[in-house]
Amino acid sequence: MLQIFNSLSRQKEAFQPIVPGQVRMYVCGMTVYDYCHIGHARVMVVFDVVVRWLKASGFAVTYVRNITDIDDKIIRRAQENGEHFNDLTARFIQAMHEDLAALSILPPTHEPRATAAMADIIAMIQVLIEKGFAYAGTSGDVYYAVSRFARYGTLANKRLEDLRAGARIEVEEAKNDPLDFVLWKAAKPGEPGWDSPWGQGRPGWHIECSAMSTRCLGEHFDIHGGGMDLKFPHHENEIAQSEAASGHRYVNVWMHNGFVQVNEEKMSKSLGNFFTVREVLRRYQPEVVRLFILSSHYRGPLNYADENFNHAKASLNRLYTALRGLPVVDSSVEDAWFSRFRAAMDDDFNTPEALAVLFDLAREINRLRSEDEGNAARLGANLRYLGGLLGLLQCDPELFLKGSPTPQNNQHVTGNLAGILDDVAGVTETTGLAETAIDRLLAQRSAARKSKDWVEADKIRDQLQVAGIVLEDTPNGTIWRRG
């Protein structure tokens, strides 16, 4: 049975959906004022794999991932650029979709936007005011009264008195308690705003997710996910708002992925140590990025370092090398390999252990290849299937090993995906020598070998090796891959 670590109880729990056979899951998405960085990619890949495994386990999954398309950062960036905030967000929503498609991240069932959910947001705020959990300040802002919610701090394991000790009220704020947080912000001159009972304004960040999740999934659903940095205060505030409004439990299971670190510091835009997905894809194929992310358990830290990406690249090369040249046959997944894989994934989505199964399977394929090609091909089909559950091994082995980043037979590939991958392939450091140049050198080497000019043949091999091209001489000729 699937076990998931619940951040609320701080332990693994047997997963029991509210409605048998169905899973409703919400994950906090992007605030779209800039390009996605690798920290965002981790969240997206982690929960993409969660969805893939839930579906493979027989659940019907409704997956909601929101877009925050109005907030202070968006307004500030649009003002700096001298453009309408809608133009800014439209551009970065398109860029986000391109990045996610490049990483083979499946689209969610629903992708609500804050600007399209104003009626739901305003309605929830009105309910909170009527129930005494919120109030309008003298500044025109509306605040949530944290002291009215007895369970505040449960998710983050924090006590009100400890939180209050370090809190303070800013000069421009008109709230009753330093811990109270804004639900509705009055619009300042020149800022975008929406009509409300409290005047022109826009929602606070926390109320957006409460309103959008309950609109799409109901007032009580199965799983809520996001980065560890969202546990407090964002998710804590979501619980307070949603449960105060509905009068009952909001979410059964809370999942949080760990930080991406650079030199043992959290990667973030505020620290200036972040790398965009597009920058990373100029150096590494998309599946290498996925494997890098999945090589660490989702709850632990993930260290951004060239050696870790290079290790992921070498590991993926091993898997594709095992598949290279095998005939494509139907998989027979209900075997010992699948049982091991399932045990790993059912243990709180333990992708490092699941990957270990793939590498063991690749070793067995290599062992069998020369003595039992039929069995090797069957295991190769299993390897492709299990890799696919992680969003890996979706490329033609020959193309992947020669540096092509494009997945094959990918149902959610769009025209935009082709564009971004073409752009990436044109500048990627891993592309190196063009295929035509490699083929020309291989032909020269083959001619040298036929004439027994071993010095020239070795010289060409060394030249290719320096360019990152690995050769393998087989009875059927020389094959190559990028190292």
Helix (H, G, I), strand (E, B) or coil at 355: helix
CB 62 within 8 A of CB 110: yes
Nearest residue to 469 (alpha-carbon basis) of 288, 359, 291, 460: 460
- Torsions phi, psi of 65, nearest 5? -130, 115
- Torsions phi, psi of 189, nearest 5? -55, 130
CB 147 within 8 A of CB 160: yes
Hey, what are 432's tokens? 């190196």
For residues 229 and 259, give the distance between their C-alpha atoms in angstroms, rounded to a whole number. 8
Q: Could you tell me if residue 199 is left (phi over 0), alpha (psi between -120 and 50 degrees) or otherwise beta?
A: left
For residues 261 and 264, give the distance between their C-alpha atoms in angstroms, rounded to a whole number. 5
AA letter at 55: K
User: Which residue ranges are tagged as binding site?
Assistant: 28, 209, 234, 238, 269
User: Which residue ranges are tagged as binding site for Zn(2+)?
Assistant: 28, 209, 234, 238
Helix (H, G, I), strand (E, B) or coil at 479: strand
pLDDT computed for residue 441 by the predictor: 78
The residue to which tokens 């140590």 are assigned? 273
Helix (H) or strand (E) holding 394: none
- Torsions phi, psi of 222, nearest 5? -80, -55
Q: Which pairs count as long-range contacts for 301-308, CB under 8 Å and 24+ apart, including other chains? A: 301/258, 301/259, 301/260, 301/261, 302/42, 302/258, 302/259, 302/260, 302/261, 303/260, 303/261, 303/262, 303/264, 304/38, 304/260, 304/261, 304/262, 304/267, 304/275, 305/262
For residues 47 and 237, give the distance between their C-alpha atoms in angstroms, rounded to a whole number. 22
pLDDT computed for residue 330 by the predictor: 84
User: Which residue ranges are tagged as binding site for ATP?
Assistant: 269
All domains in the chain, ordered by first residue: 17-257 (3.40.50.620), 265-427 (1.20.120.640), 435-482 (no CATH)
For residues 251 and 219, give the distance between their C-alpha atoms in angstroms, rounded to a whole number. 8
Measuring CA to CA, how many Å separate 219 from each of 101, 210, 222, 241, 412?
30, 9, 10, 11, 30
Q: Where are the alpha helices (DSSP H) in 351-396?
A: 351-368, 373-388
Predicted TM-score of the model (pTM): 0.85
For residues 237 and 56, give the distance between their C-alpha atoms in angstroms, rounded to a whole number. 33
The residue to which tokens 């190292």 are assigned? 483
For residues 183 and 206, give the distance between their C-alpha atoms in angstroms, rounded to a whole number. 7
For residues 53 and 338, give the distance between their C-alpha atoms in angstroms, rounded to a whole number. 13
> What is the pLDDT tens value at each position of the chain, 483 positions in all?
999 999 999 999 999 999 999 999 999 999 999 999 999 999 999 999 999 999 999 999 999 999 999 999 999 999 999 999 999 999 999 999 999 999 999 999 999 999 999 999 999 999 999 999 999 988 889 999 999 999 999 999 999 988 888 777 775 678 889 999 999 999 999 999 999 999 999 999 999 999 999 999 999 999 999 999 999 999 999 999 999 999 999 999 999 999 999 877 777 767 777 899 999 999 999 999 999 999 999 999 999 999 999 999 999 999 999 999 998 888 776 789 999 999 999 999 999 999 999 999 999 999 999 889 899 999 999 999 999 999 999 999 999 998 865 554 443 333 343 444 444 333 334 446 677 777 777 777 877 777 777 777 777 777 787 677 777 776 667 777 776
Nearest residue to 89 (alpha-carbon basis) of 142, 34, 14: 34
CB 233 within 8 A of CB 241: no
